[in-house]
Amino acid sequence: MKILITGGAGFIGSTLVKYIINKTNNEVINLDKLTYAGNLKSLETISENKRYSFEKVDIKDLDELSEVFNKYKPDSVMHLAAESHVDRSIAGPEGFVQTNIVGTYVLLEVVRKYFYALNKTKKSHFKFHHISTDEVYGDIGFSGNPSKENDTYKPSSPYSATKASSDHLVRSWARTYKLPFIITNSSNNYGPYHFPEKLIPLTIKNALEGKDIPIYGKGDQIRDWLYVEDHAKALYQVLKEGTLGETYNIGGNSEKRNIDVVIQICELLDEMDPASRKQGIKSYKDLITYTEDRPGHDLRYALDTSKIQEELGWQPSETFKSGIMKTIEWNLLNRKWSEDVLTAEDLQQESKNKLENL
């Protein structure tokens, strides 16, 4: 099977690409624009594999997308390309609208025309797998039941609203144009190769550098944490065994308050890398600082994962403790990776600023 993966140089995408190349005999076409969050260094271990190809393409570019489909003739599409950081969506929502909504629309149009041109046998095997987030269901509060696949969407941020929009686009193209689709919604991912702007990689990075570890409000917000390699396995299993037209929630069954996540990381770092003493502090926890909460910050997300467990037999392999241990160990061994991706982002921003000032 030839699988075209959009956003395959991102955090989840690169993990998925490596999983498919290393654990299956399928071919992967990785299509990525290579924004700040996309980094080919995350794929160096499989970059020379004959079953792997890379195309630098923006999903909003209809002509280039069409050329990729005509060149490789994929059997399935896994759509992960998206802007995904809530803080960035609040500061600049336009990029999220363009990538998550317009980009998904353009991709669906290319897929529609490509699908219609397939012969009967190829059509019968083709799948469009759209990867989304638990944030589309909105804030369920501290006492609410975990979100189920058929729950009403109530997105709160520009990010989650654009992801909800992309989900609706996929379902409408399926209903109107008969595209064979599957949607998955996952909880918060963490693990190796995570761009250091999200809570867990930022906490680790700042701690190791002796910088303040910022916490929004009191850190009472609750998230369900899913180890990224567990997510990759689930995504591939859904592609292979999931029922067309269905949605599957993928969660880690590890709900934790943000402050508890940060404290656990600090305590593990105290044991694994006790450099805090060199920084004149007793514990990395001394670096925790509390900042003004961000606008519209949801209290809690959680997913009911009974459907994927019962229908496909999937459940996460990692507990939060085992997953966070692996994540910290990787970060301790790969500090230069974080430095390089942040340097690359700075260079991208500098080039963008120069272009805007011309």
| Catalytic annotation present for 116 | no
User: CA separation (Å) from 80 to 14, 278, 302?
Assistant: 10, 41, 21
The three-state secondary structure class of 101 is: helix
304 annotated active-site: no
Burial of residue 48 (CB within 10 Å: 0-12, 13-18, 19+) is: exposed
Cα-Cα-Cα-Cα torsion 214, 250, 191, 94, nearest 10 degrees, comes to -60
Active-site residue, selected from the candidate residues 135, 139, 230, 270: 135
Q: Collect all residues with Cβ–Cβ distance below 8 Å to 182 and sequence separation of at least 6.
A: 127, 128, 129, 130, 238, 239, 242, 243, 244, 245, 246, 247, 248
φ and ψ at 345, to 5 degrees?
Answer: -65, -40
Q: Report which of 33, 98, 109, 121 is spatially closest to residue 69, judged by C-alpha positions.
A: 109
Active site residue 75: no
Cβ-proximal residues to 54 (8 Å cutoff; 6+ apart), any chain: 8, 9, 29, 30, 31, 32, 40, 43, 47
Strands (E) in the chain, as ranges, are: 2-6, 27-32, 52-56, 76-79, 127-133, 181-186, 188-190, 213-216, 222-227, 247-250, 255-257, 288-291
The active-site residue, picked from 137, 159, 227, 301, is 159
Catalytic residue among 83, 134, 149, 230: 134
Catalytic residue numbers read 134-135, 159
